[in-house]
Amino acid sequence: MDSSPKPSLFVPDPETARGSRIPDYETLYAASVADPESFWGNLAKELHFTKAPRKILDWNPKTFEGRWLVGAEGNICDNALDRHVRDGFGNKVALIWAGDGGEEELFTYGRLLDQTVRFAHILKKLGVGKGDRVTIFLPPTPGQVIAMLACARLGAIHSVVFSGFSQAALRSRLEDFEPKVLVTADCAYRRGKRIPLLETARAARKGLTSVEATVVVPREGPPESLEPGERSLTDLQTEVRFAGPLPSVPVTCDDPLFVLYTSGTTGKPKGVVHVQLGYMLGTYATARTIFDLRDSDVYFCVADPGWITGHSYIVYGPLLNRATVLLSEGTPEYPDAGRHWSLIERHRVSVYYSTPTTIRLQMRFGDSWPAGRDLSPHRSLGSVGEPLNPEAWHWLHRVTGGKLPIMDTWWQTETGMIMVTPLPSTPEKPGSAGRPFPGVVADVVDSSGHTLPSGETGTVVIRTPWPSMFRTVFRDPERYRKYWTEIPGAFFSGDSARRDEDGFFFFLGRVDDVIKVAGHRLGTAEIESALITHPKVAEAAAIGKPDELRGEIIKVFVVLHPHAADTPPAHDEIRKHVRTELGGIAEPHEVDIVISLPKTRSGKIMRRVLKAREMGLPEGDLSTLED
């Protein structure tokens, strides 16, 4: 056995003395997949554990459970905050918050830690301890980040629900998750409009017995009146004022960090479960390498912490890397189309992680918005959520000076971390998400799992475990198994792609019934279930229709109940109904009232036929069509 220490394949960065640069992707990649435990184990050494791991990976090919950092004890909040304060970086800015109305607030690592400890005290006082569940329904504000970190500190499990969701969508998540505590705000702001978050939260939790307390964080101010079970954060803060330190609770490799609900192919969103230590290693390593984060950087990711991108690349990944993170509450077009460019200039942002829809929107607004701005600190760009089309790639490349690397990163809620991506030092091809991250074995296969040659389109699978892999689907282990049995033994992503002769991935979209609207993931079944709760709707089908700006838009076909046919509902009424049921992001853009839907003989709606018709394409094999 070779016992000599393995040389590091990272070249130390002259500025940080940390090894972030990867000079030779091919060599590093080959070494990482030949010996993944050394590759990931070396990266794990850069993190702090109260007990070192005994084994890097314990993979069970029967249950598909990947246990990373077996025997280790540590805490992700300790690594994201306390570690940096201990290292003398308490005065470094951790978070810059840019509010919807132009407000700004700065948090140093020291202040963020202090506020997190206070919040953890509050949660503890409300009975939250290791393994307890907390739902966070807050707008993208520092309070949201603090609440997440405070849960992690206690070893509690958070579930962040996007603040744009409706009460029905929040309720179904509360019903499944059964949290002990719900954290919400008096209101949220979006494009200058006040959104009554507390009212939504009240309606959603009505009658749910699991929720023992609701903490109301002031966005505008303390709420005027509170209902039983609600506590104002301001009052609670007074109560824990002299509580003192509260060390983070060490957790093991099996302890969950969060459950994040995402759309799948059935009507019910699934709770994707991530565990603390493995997730920490995956997000730390990817944020460090892909964004090459340095102490002088200001890093801006446009996501909302309510989605996985925000979890991994606003909160955990960057803070684990001691980055300065810009969190923007607003949308890219409010108060004007220059919103992001002015934030980038004002805060001297050097790494900007955006989305194709945002980039295409900026492109539509035109060059004049970025033109003339001082973007000189800028070092790299990123994109996530849907394929980044070459036009948008070229536009972004050009308006930012024509020299910056663009990382088109492919990954999912389930993977927890970026899986396929260029690196700052590797070549890029417009329209491609590059090659797999070191240690990740991604493949393009046919329906029986055989690797396809370059140029052929197939589905994307991941063949071996990775550190921040999801551990299960909350309360639904069978659904977890399904990911690994579609192509036996490999993780089935649900995406299609082809590779070119250099091994670069070109992602094309979903192969299942998931729609990506402006990067938001929605299940056709979810939208259909919402539609048929309308009293006049008997049957419904939803499809994603290609759209230049948003990638896809939602088009729905509805069949009315016979009694409703005389007084058909207005299209607006149907759209509004879905909005109320699921929230604004799921509102259909187009509604067609039809007499019947194409179905298989066994009664399944053939969405692919609807989609082909809609796009004027051949309808394909119709042998199973009922009529």
Question: Interface with ligand WTA by CB under 6 A: which residues?
Answer: 262, 308-309, 384-387, 408-413, 433, 493-495, 507, 510, 516, 521
Nearer to ligand WTA, 189 or 313 (CB): 313
Is residue 456 within 8 Å of residue 498, measured between CB atoms? yes
- Give me the least distance between CB of 66 and ligand WTA, in Å please: 18
Nearer to ligand WTA, 144 or 413 (CB): 413
- Give me the least distance between CB of 204 and ligand WTA, in Å please: 22
Terminal Cα distance for the chain, rounded: 67
Nearer to ligand WTA, 143 or 306 (CB): 306
- Give me the least distance between CB of 459 and ligand WTA, in Å please: 11
- Give me the least distance between CB of 520 and ligand WTA, in Å please: 7
- Give me the least distance between CB of 565 and ligand WTA, in Å please: 37
Cα 526 from Cα 324, distance rounded (Å): 37
Nearer to ligand WTA, 75 or 415 (CB): 415
Nearer to ligand WTA, 115 or 421 (CB): 421
Nearer to ligand WTA, 269 or 338 (CB): 269
Nearer to ligand WTA, 109 or 466 (CB): 466
**H or E element, residue 506:** strand 505-510
Looking only at the bridges linking them, the beta strands covering 104-108 and 93-98 are antiparallel
Is residue 172 within 8 Å of residue 206, measured between CB atoms? no
- Give me the least distance between CB of 571 and ligand WTA, in Å please: 28
Nearer to ligand WTA, 309 or 328 (CB): 309
Cα 312 from Cα 305, distance rounded (Å): 8
User: What are the two backbone dihedrals, phi and then psi, of residue 135, each rounded to the nearest 5 degrees?
Assistant: -95, 135
Of 202, 263, 200, 137, which is closest to residue 580 (Cα–Cα)?
A: 200
Query: Alpha carbon 463 to chain centroid distance?
Result: 22
Amino acid symbol at 569: P
Coil, helix or strand at residue 478:
helix
- Give me the least distance between CB of 149 and ligand WTA, in Å please: 21
Ranked by CB distance to ligand WTA, the top (closest) residue is: 413
Nearer to ligand WTA, 90 or 544 (CB): 544
- Give me the least distance between CB of 432 and ligand WTA, in Å please: 9
Nearer to ligand WTA, 162 or 189 (CB): 162
- Give me the least distance between CB of 545 and ligand WTA, in Å please: 16
Nearer to ligand WTA, 136 or 308 (CB): 308
- Give me the least distance between CB of 63 and ligand WTA, in Å please: 23
- Give me the least distance between CB of 413 and ligand WTA, in Å please: 3
Coil, helix or strand at residue 602:
coil
Is residue 414 within 8 Å of residue 281, measured between CB atoms? no
Cα 349 from Cα 343, distance rounded (Å): 8
Nearer to ligand WTA, 42 or 412 (CB): 412
Q: Retrieve residue 542's tokens.
A: 């939803």
Q: Retrieve residue 535's tokens.
A: 């009293």
Amino acid symbol at 137: F
Other Cβ atoms closer than 10 A to 399: 19
Of 331, 269, 318, which is closest to residue 291 (Cα–Cα)?
A: 318
Nearer to ligand WTA, 356 or 588 (CB): 356
Amino acid symbol at 379: R
Of 444, 466, 438, 470, which is closest to residue 457 (Cα–Cα)?
A: 444
- DSSP structure string for 544-570: EEEETTTEEEEEEEEEE-GGGTTSPPP
Between the alpha carbon of residue 439 and those of residues 271, 390, 436, 504, the distances in Å are 26, 27, 8, 16
Is residue 106 within 8 Å of residue 95, measured between CB atoms? yes
Burial pattern 421-430, b for ≥16 Cβ within 10 A else e, equals bbbbebebbe
Cα 604 from Cα 621, distance rounded (Å): 15
Cα 227 from Cα 236, distance rounded (Å): 15
Is residue 69 within 8 Å of residue 277, measured between CB atoms? yes
Nearer to ligand WTA, 133 or 510 (CB): 510
- Give me the least distance between CB of 576 and ligand WTA, in Å please: 25
- Give me the least distance between CB of 547 and ligand WTA, in Å please: 15
Q: Retrieve residue 279's tokens.
A: 């997730």
C-alpha angle 122/128/132, rounded to 5°? 145
**Helix intervals (H) in 366-453:** 390-399
- Give me the least distance between CB of 477 and ligand WTA, in Å please: 20
Residues in CB range of 365: below 8 A, 6 or more apart: 333, 337, 338
Nearer to ligand WTA, 90 or 382 (CB): 382
- Give me the least distance between CB of 544 and ligand WTA, in Å please: 11
Other Cβ atoms closer than 10 A to 382: 26
- Give me the least distance between CB of 270 and ligand WTA, in Å please: 11
**H or E element, residue 137:** strand 133-137
Cα 12 from Cα 28, distance rounded (Å): 14
Total count of residues recorded for the chain: 627
Nearer to ligand WTA, 81 or 522 (CB): 522
Cα 434 from Cα 451, distance rounded (Å): 18
